Amino acid sequence: MISITAPAYNEAENLEELCRRITNVLKDTEYDYEILIVDNGSSDKTLDILTELNKQDARIKYISLSRNFGHQGALLAGLNHSKGDAVISMDGDLQHPPEKIPEMLTLWKQGYEIVFTNKRENNNISYLRRIFTYLFYFIMSKISGLHLSYGQSDFRLLDRKVVDIICNMSERDKFLRGIVEWVGYKKIGIDYDVSPRFRGISKFSYLHLFSFAFTGILSFSKIPLRLFLISGMFISLTSIIEALYIVIRFSFFAMDTTIPHGWLTITTSIYFLSGVILMAIGVLGEYIGFIFEQTKNRPEFIISHKSDRS
């Protein structure tokens, strides 16, 4: 069986078309399937439409979260509750074309356990957003050691064993694009053209984009912590050099009155102490970072309703 899962946040206008197109591409295949939509705390009629779609077709299922747990939280909810031997995740706004699903299934049947997708150049997004996205993937690949190419998305196929491994990870705030690359397995990528939204507007703002990037970087690298440590060492070294300069200057040019008495001493002390503090924060941060990741134990999502028909 194949599972297709998609998060939906205020996507009431798109759900019928989404399910219709998925059904059309799967109805003539050899696979049984389920469509699992995750209502991510929507405030529109998303849940009502999902309830009606489930009544019309038992293969269309839903779970409704108690609030919005973010895009990654909704994706994880879908992965955790899918039953298929392969699980395909996609967005609910139809920018991920369902017509690519048969090609993904063909590659899975050939032995690939992960089939990821890369967006072709998308002229529908702003130039600033394209630059920000490119820089994120470039920096992320450099500091994490993972190969994350520009244009990757959460439109992917995962074999059941990969899904089980990801779902059983105790890590919180999972960055799925990094984790899918990190777990290994035999993988292949395919390209697709980003379709315009069927209806409605994007809910993924620049603030969400920044938060997404920040979570990804912190999840797979300790370099931000080490930057504080390096900064502290550099500032401390600079203050020591400045202190030597003051000693030499006042030793050989004691009558020099161009510098107010006491000013350089105070400045040097501030720089030195600031450097020591930053070094201390950097070292403590290394340890706290490990402890913090292990002690967070809140659920990644909470389900308030789910479809009755199976």
Predicted pLDDT of residue 252: 65
Predicted pLDDT of residue 88: 92
115: CB partners within 8 A, 6+ apart: 104, 107, 108, 156, 157, 187, 188, 189, 190
Helix then strand then coil, % of the chain, to nearest 5: 50, 15, 35
Structural domain includes residue 34: yes
Structural domain includes residue 307: no
Strands 60-65 and 86-89: unpaired
Predicted pLDDT of residue 129: 66
pTM of the model: 0.67
Structural domain includes residue 61: yes
Q: Do both 74 and 166 map to the same domain?
A: yes
Q: How far apart are CA 285 and CA 121, in angstroms?
A: 39
Q: Do both 236 and 168 map to the same domain?
A: no
Number of structural domains (the chain) is: 2
Residue percentage of the chain with pLDDT more than 70: 65
Lowest mean pLDDT of 3-12, 30-39, 132-141, name the range: 132-141
List, for residues 6-26, the tens digit of each pLDDT value: 998 888 888 888 889 998 888
Residue percentage of the chain with pLDDT more than 90: 5
Predicted pLDDT of residue 51: 87
**Domain extent for 180:** 2-126+149-205
List, for residues 259-274, the tens digit of each pLDDT value: 566 666 677 777 777 7
Predicted pLDDT of residue 30: 80
Residue 104: which of 96, 114, 94 has the closest Cα?
A: 114
Q: Do both 197 and 240 map to the same domain?
A: no
Strands 33-39 and 60-65: parallel
List, for residues 215-247, the tens digit of each pLDDT value: 666 666 666 667 767 777 777 787 777 777 767
Structural domain includes residue 134: no
Q: Looking at residues 123-135, what average pLDDT do you find?
A: 65
Predicted pLDDT of residue 133: 66
Looking at residue 191, which CATH number applies to its domain? Answer: 3.90.550.10
